[in-house]
Chains A and B, each alone.
Chain A
Amino acid sequence: MNDIKALSKVYLINMLSNKFVFIFNLLLPTVYFLYLNGKYWSRSQVTFNQSTNLVMSNFWAYIIIVTILNNVIIAIISQRENGSYKQLFFIVGSKWKILIANFLVQLAVLNGELIIFNIMAMIVFHNFHISLIVAGILSATIITLPVAGISSILFLWKVKIESINLLVSVLLFGLFALSSVPESGSIINVFSLLNPVTYTVEMAFQILSLFANHIFSNQTILIWFLVTITYGFIGWFSVSKLSVHSVIDRA
């Protein structure tokens, strides 16, 4: 635990030196949200209903997934490619400690981002509910680990660091495009949840509906459990295969 604490401190200081990532993680979705919903600024209070919950869930999903991809997965891949992951591995003696420390820092950052975004949304909607803040924190806490698990599959890509950002952008675009395809039937629903964007939107929506409108789908718990187990297994497998060597150094 002491090791994780020491590493988390280092990761936090290191991350705060690169504030540019917040443009993609927080500023971009916030500006887009204001662009779409700015009209409510001059109107009376907006009630949180299923359609506003869906809008919020999509923005949360973007913030969660982009933060995990940029600050956890690509960050570790970059460290692996420049050799600092290998160095850190031999200082700490465990890849799990490195990943957990980085993950915990980013979870805290993510919660901060969602709190800022939710406060801004409440200001726009003239509707102040502490439950929105709590739902955001709960969503981030529950969803982030499985999403980090499925995203760890990128550790297995033998792609040079120069190409990884482009590929991740294409991947993100594809996943968000796929998530907007209409679904029908429960089997399709299970498979669609294998898309981490759909999974995140769906889970965030359920949590938000529970807090804001006291509505929750029981069927979703079983599907969520099955998909979360799958994500966890993929994450465990990917991390166990995570090499300390950069792609170009592998024989």
Chain B
Amino acid sequence: MKIKNYGLRYGDRILANHLDIEFSNDLVNVIVGANGAGKTTLLDFIAGVGPAAASGEKIDVPDQRDVTYQLQHIHFFTTLRVGQIIAMYRQLGNSDVENQISGFEAIKNDVLAKIWQVEIGQLSGGERQMVLTYGQCLLERNLYIFDEPTSGVDVDNTKIILNMIASLVKERHKQVIMTTHHLEQLSDFPVHMIKI
């Protein structure tokens, strides 16, 4: 999967110009850059909802219907309980993942079971990220995009989230792109780093 000649310009402000990016199929692709560098806009562009200001050629990027994208800090159906949200993801995706992919059974029993009856709106930011990442991983797509999935998450939950994301590539051979500001969290994970 490649992006060629990517450009992003807001008036006189040029955020990217003639940028070529090649993504790895075998590693989690991590986009890093300063605040305002255009990371989320690049993710939007890849997902097919980029602004008119972004341009470039997409090569072998899956069709939009084959892409799932977890946004950052989203207030999503705050009155639904964790169990109800996961039930929705199971119905929309592949619930076999919970039994077949290593680690998911443990996350379900050890982490999610404790908050199963709690409303999404009453969870901490980190717990919410955990629930949504778990749900996203139940979906069956070719490309998975995560916008700062570990932002505001504690050390233990960060490891769980990164393990779930890594399993998409290692065990299910999916393509994954994520952004982060916390490079130190990735020290134990082999990743393909993309700086913009």
Contacts and interface: CB of A to CB of B under 8 A. Distances in A.
A246 B74 CA distance: 13
Label chain B's interface by main secondary structure: mixed
A13 B49 CA distance: 29
A90 B47 contact: yes
Nearest to B89: A91
Interface residues of B, number: 32
B91 A83 contact: no
Label chain A's interface by main secondary structure: helix
B79 interface: yes
Nearest to A5: B91
A83 B75 contact: yes
B92 A92 contact: yes
Contacts of A2: 91-92
A104 to B, nearest CB: 15
A43 interface: no
Contacts of B79: 13-14, 17-18
A84 B65 contact: no
Interface in B63-102: 64-71, 74-77, 79-80, 84-85, 87-89, 91-92
Contacts of A94: 65
Contacts of A183: none
Contacts of B162: none
Contacts of B92: 2-3, 6-7, 91-92
Interface string A83-102: 11011101111100000000
B80 A251 contact: no
A77 interface: no
A250 interface: yes
Contact of B71 (A13, A83, A93): A83
A13 B135 CA distance: 18
Interface of B: 10, 47, 49, 51-53, 64-71, 74-77, 79-80, 84-85, 87-89, 91-92, 135-136, 139, 141, 145
